[in-house]
Amino acid sequence: MRHVFRLGALLACAASLALSAAAIAQDFPNKPIKWIVPFPPGGPTDSFSRPVAQKLSEILGQPVVVENVPGAGASIGMDRVAKSAPDGYTIGLASTGTHAINPHLYGARLPHDTVRDFTPLTLGNRYVNVLIVNPKLGINSVAELIAYAKANPGKVTFGSAGNGSSNHLSGESLKFVTGAPMQHIPYRGSAPALADVMAGNITFMFDIPVTAMPMVRAGRVKALAVSGDRRSPFVPDVPSMTEAGVKGFNEVGSDLWMGIVGPAGIPKPIVTKLNDALIRALRSVEVRERVAAQGFELWTSTPEEYARVIKADRERWGKLVKSSGAKID
């Protein structure tokens, strides 16, 4: 009888907790939600976040306040998300950089675990980097760039937004799979790197379409390929790395994405509610148009699908970071 009583008590307790969680979710949200962007205002992550947050506010009936918390390669803002109360009222914009690359760049110095300390909510978009060169070099394909690098060791340089940035590692991917000698030149942001490609001070770089393609159309740089195994719908005339004949590029690390996360431990009913509202916001006509204008391809998911992407990409990019020797001093 005692065992029966205990079982009954446990079942009653479980039922009570389930009802409590359901009641919390039904009441959620009843105050403003904070959306942390771990990068400075005005960049692509900020430009993506704000229209999504605005639409999310309309759907949930509460303000969704975007707060930029930049610094330390986005780890400061991400740590604020990780250390927040797991109640759904603090969420953040994550990326390939914050969740797949940073763990390997910072190692034990990263104050959070990108799998254990976060609740994935949904993926938001995927995007490519465009490989661009100075047109005065007379290089018209990736094959010609590789041949030029091998024929001129020590002469080919590529720029990036800084050590460990996605465009840095796109360059390292190309260097790794082709064996071509190329020297990385880190900058404080992509804009000065792009300026030096146009000036002919460095050979090439990878950059996002929204900033690279206007310079391509103006004849200031030449586009050779996009990262990824297929063409981007936003730059359909530029071949993919696969089409350009760069074998193994995509397996090393080409997936670039942004997504929305919260701290670990958010109750499942709230996760479900946020996932549903975020997907509705992302798929709305207004947000679709804004996302497309930035050269991002919409990519939504379940929380479970997003968790699998983070784990797989963290392992994939880790191998590249290790082989490249990239580190944060």
Angle at 147 (CA atoms; ends 146, 153), nearest 5 degrees: 85
Is the omega angle on the peptide bond into residue 29 within 30 degrees of 0, that is, cis? yes
pLDDT of residue 37: 96
Q: Which residues contact 243 (CB under 8 A, 6 or more apart)?
A: 225, 231
* pLDDT for res 229: 81
Q: What percent of the chain has pLDDT over 90?
A: 70
Give 103's Cβ-side CA count (13 Å radius).
19
Q: Which residues of 215-229 are buried (b: 16+ CB within 10 A; e: fewer)?
A: bbeeebbbbbbbbbe
Q: Which pLDDT belongs to residue 320?
A: 83
Residue 164 pLDDT > 80, yes or no? no
Q: Which domains does the chain have, with CATH numbers?
A: 30-125+255-324 (3.40.190.150), 130-253 (3.40.190.10)
**What pLDDT score does 325 carry?**
75
At 284, the pLDDT band (50, 70, 90 cuts) reads: very high
Average pLDDT over residues 195-201: 96
DSSP letters of 279-315? HHHHTSHHHHHHHHHTTPEE----HHHHHHHHHHHHH
User: What's the chain's average pLDDT?
Assistant: 90
User: pLDDT band for position 73 (50/70/90)?
Assistant: confident
Sheet holding 204-207, edge to edge: 183-186, 157-160, 204-207, 130-133, 222-226
Residue whose token pair is 């936003």 = 234
Q: What angle do CA 99, 103, 106 make, to 5 degrees?
A: 130
Q: What is the pTM of this model?
A: 0.86
CB-neighbour burial class of residue 107 (10 A; exposed 0-12, middle 13-18, buried 19+) = exposed
End-to-end CA distance of the chain: 64
Distance between CA atoms of 64 and 130, rounded to whole angstroms? 33
- Mean pLDDT for 291-309 is 95
Q: Is residue 20 over pLDDT 80?
A: no
With a pLDDT cut of 70, the percent of the chain lying above it is 91
Question: Hey, how many other C-beta atoms are within 10 angstroms of the C-beta on 98?
Answer: 28
Closest CA to 68 of 60, 56, 59, 76: 76
Least confident of 63-72, 98-107, 157-166, 284-293: 157-166
For the ranges 121-125, 159-163, 232-236, the one whose mean pLDDT is highest: 121-125
pLDDT confidence band for 323 (50 / 70 / 90): confident
Q: What is the dihedral of CA 47, 308, 304, 108, to 10 degrees?
A: -70
Q: Greater confidence, 326 or 151?
A: 151
Looking at the predicted structure, is the pLDDT value of residue 322 above 90? Answer: no
Which has the closest alpha carbon to 83: 133, 118, 53?
118
For 326, half-sphere exposure in the C-beta direction (CA atoms, 13 angstrom radius) is 31
Q: SS in 3 state form for 95-132? A: EHHHHHHHHHHHHHHCCCCCCCCEEEEEEEEEECCEEE
pLDDT at 12: 56
Residue type, 196: D
Residue 36: how many CB atoms within 10 A of its CB?
25
pLDDT, tens digit, for every residue of 22-72?
666 789 999 999 999 998 898 889 999 999 999 999 999 999 999 999 988
C-alpha neighbours within 13 Å on the C-beta side of residue 91: 27
Q: Is residue 15's pLDDT more than 60? A: no
Mean pLDDT for 207-216 is 93
Six-digit token string for 46 = 């900020």
- Region class of 103: left (phi > 0), else alpha (psi between -120 and 50), else beta: alpha
- Per-residue pLDDT of 229-260, as tens digits, reads 889 998 999 999 999 999 888 877 667 999 99
Q: Please indicate whether residue 57 or residue 167 has the higher confidence score (pLDDT).
A: 57
Per-residue pLDDT, 230: 86
**pLDDT tens-digit map of 82-119:** 999 999 999 999 999 999 999 998 988 999 999 999 99
